[in-house]
Chains A and B, each alone.
Chain A
Amino acid sequence: MAVMADTDERQVVPHRRSRWSRTDTLRGWAFLAPALALVVFFFIVPVGLVVYMSATDWTLFGGFTAMNFPQNFVDIASDPMFAKSLEFTLKYTVLTTVILMPLAFFLALLVQEARQWNKFLRTAILLPSALGIASSSLLFYALYSPQVGPLNPILDSLGLMDAQQTILGTADGALWATVVLVVWRFTGYFMLLTLIGVQAIPGDIYEAANLDGAGRLRKLRSITLPMLKPTIAMTMILSVTGSLLAFDQFFILTKGGPNNETLTTVLLIYKYAFETKKDLGMAAALSVVVLLALVIINVLQLRALGVGRSEEK
């Protein structure tokens, strides 16, 4: 061991990486112990186990029965339900992101000045963020209900809906109903992220633009938008990765219905494990697919973000 016990007393290069003091190592790992325990027991082992389980026949009630790699993955690749869920998840992701981001951006610009009224507004828009997706979904489930909800009668009287249908009873209705709920729940959060970005732009740039006689739109296009690139990239990552993993809202509002028209991929994991197949091996294989897809997307997006940051300099 090349560990020096008395590095403190030596005057030479105290920051040399190769010289760790033994006490620091002991102290360091002692302080890391609680985090390490959490990471090992609830992260590393489950990641390893999901990969292992994905290569097995593992039934919900029977446990492990046999290795069968790569059968689960072959089954998934040719599974029409998987294809359908993937298509729907992507559609839902595009839809929420396309609505959520411009709306949040517009609201951030609207309330950016520090006035008392604006502070109230921000709080009002942000308030749904305190609620969980599950409670928001339950709330909207009641709002959309034909019995107590005000929305069904309104849509009916406007002639926007078949009199025999309910909002969640049609594929399009269920999709849009969920998008509205998610936009309500997340707009404030995204608005605040955008606002933080807007307020980080130095004011003198705008002053210089004013001197040059630039109008509002011009300032938006030439200053605000380019300077906000990293923020916009980050909110987009959050919206895309969040929507790709949608579960609570569909589990509660639609259970994937009607006719599996609103089945997301993560909801399919649950169904395969506990409802339709009771097959944990298959559900684990699907989990591995989702996990790999998300890791790849995250890495690509982080790289894109990194590029955005260095461009800014």
Chain B
Amino acid sequence: MANLLTKRVVYYLLTALIAITFILPLAWAVVNSIAPNSATSQSDGYGLGNYGALAVYGEGLTTYLSNSVILTFVAVAACLIAATMAGYAIARFTFAGKGLMFVLVLSILMVPYAALLIPLVVWMSELGLDNTLVGVGFVLALFQLPFGTFVMRNAFESIPSELEEAAKLDGCGTFATFMRVMVPSVKAPMVTVGLFVFLNAWNDFMVPLYLLGPQNAPLPLAMVNMRQQVMGVIDYGLTTAGVVVLAIPAVILFLALQKYYIKGLISGAVKG
């Protein structure tokens, strides 16, 4: 009995320690972001001084945040539209070139995007998409396309074809059937795909670093640019405030949609 009790105590102590270790850096960021900051020479007490300074830094926080929102929105929309439509075609129609297309999409997984950014620097300007949030949103959408197509194909395959046949009998055309009958029945997998694209696009740093200038920088890139611009004195208060602003939407969405995150992992989210 005493043995069992000791085991319990050890288990709770150990696991509590582990939980604290993982949460502590985030908690510290929040505390440091409202701590008195010598670099911005704000007043001595705790307060939102760093956030105030962040709001007016460089192009201004609202610019960077809206850049992030536009970029993420384009990536999520483009990937969802392309992946849902492609998943449907691959699951439901039999036609020449289908298998080849599926293999082509999956082969994107093989190629690291770090290797494609050099040609994209040149090619995006040929397309007139260099330094545009829409263009970079498409690039981010592409890298989530294999996962999205894979999940959506599986989703459509699990839906009985009677549903479509009923819609056809009611006089729906192919596209109307797709929009009115099929898409509503794969909402949950679409949320899974959307969440993964969101987290990746919202947090991406490398693609914007190569392809976007300071004015069109999304928040992660702006934060890094900001840190480098201040020579000598690095403003850590500003940095941690930026990290908190970046983390809030991601953490909220993540906590609210954890179920879908796990579903995504089960379907084989191969990109970290």
Contact = CB atoms under 8 A, between A and B. Distances in A.
A295 B110 contact: yes
B19 A280 contact: no
Interface core residue of A58, A134, A188, A189 (most chain B CB under 10 Å):
A134
A141 interface: yes
A294 B174 CA distance: 40
A132 B205 contact: yes
Contact of A43 (B19, B93, B142, B272): B142
Contacts of A193: 265
Given A24-B95, A39-B142, A248 B206 contact: yes
Contacts of A39: 104-105, 108, 142, 145
Contact of A138 (B78, B88, B210, B224): B224
Contacts, number: 265
A67 interface: no
B97 A29 contact: yes
Interface string B73-92: 00000100111011011100
A63 B121 CA distance: 11
Contact of B118 (A25, A63, A269): A269
Given A20-B96, A130-B199, A41 B116 contact: no
Contacts of A269: 114-115, 117-118
A42 B139 contact: yes
B247 to A, nearest CB: 6
Given A139-B240, A287-B114, A42 B250 contact: no
B234 interface: yes
B19 A290 contact: no
A145 to B, nearest CB: 6
A25 B114 contact: no
B191 interface: no
Chain A's interface: helix, strand, loop or mixed, by majority?
A: helix
A259 interface: no
B202 A132 contact: yes
A138 B242 contact: yes
A29 B94 CA distance: 11
A28 B25 contact: no
Interface in B15-29: 15, 18-19, 22-23, 25-26, 28-29
Contact of B119 (A17, A120, A284): A284
Contact of A188 (B22, B115, B250): B22
B67 interface: no
A17 B141 CA distance: 32
B82 A46 contact: no
Nearest to A117: B15
Contacts of B35: 148
A196 B224 contact: no
Interface stretch (B40-48, B52-60, B157-165, B254-262): B254-262
B243 interface: yes
Contacts of B116: 43, 46-47, 50, 287
Given A31-B86, A35-B149, A47 B111 contact: yes
Interface string A161-204: 00000000000000000000000101111001100100000000
A133 B205 contact: yes
Given A49-B122, A131-B250, A31 B270 contact: no
B118 A287 contact: yes
Given A29-B95, A124-B22, A38 B119 contact: no
Contact of B83 (A28, A35, A130): A35
Contacts of A134: 203-205, 220-221, 223-224
Interface in A232-285: 238, 241-242, 245, 247-248, 251-252, 266, 269-270, 273, 280, 283-284
Given A130-B247, A252-B224, A290-B112, A46 B120 contact: yes
A273 B116 CA distance: 13
Interface of B: 12, 14-15, 18-19, 22-23, 25-26, 28-29, 32, 35, 78, 81-83, 85-86, 88-90, 93-98, 101, 104-105, 108-112, 114-123, 127, 138-139, 141-142, 145, 149, 174, 178, 199, 202-206, 209-210, 220-221, 223-224, 227, 234, 236-237, 239-240, 242-243, 246-247, 250-251, 253-255, 258, 262, 265-266, 270, 272
11 contacts: A28-B98, A45-B119, A120-B19, A124-B18, A131-B246, A132-B199, A132-B202, A134-B221, A148-B237, A238-B270, A283-B118
Given A35-B83, A248-B206, 12 more contacts: A28-B94, A32-B101, A36-B101, A38-B141, A49-B122, A110-B14, A117-B15, A126-B258, A131-B250, A132-B199, A132-B203, A138-B239
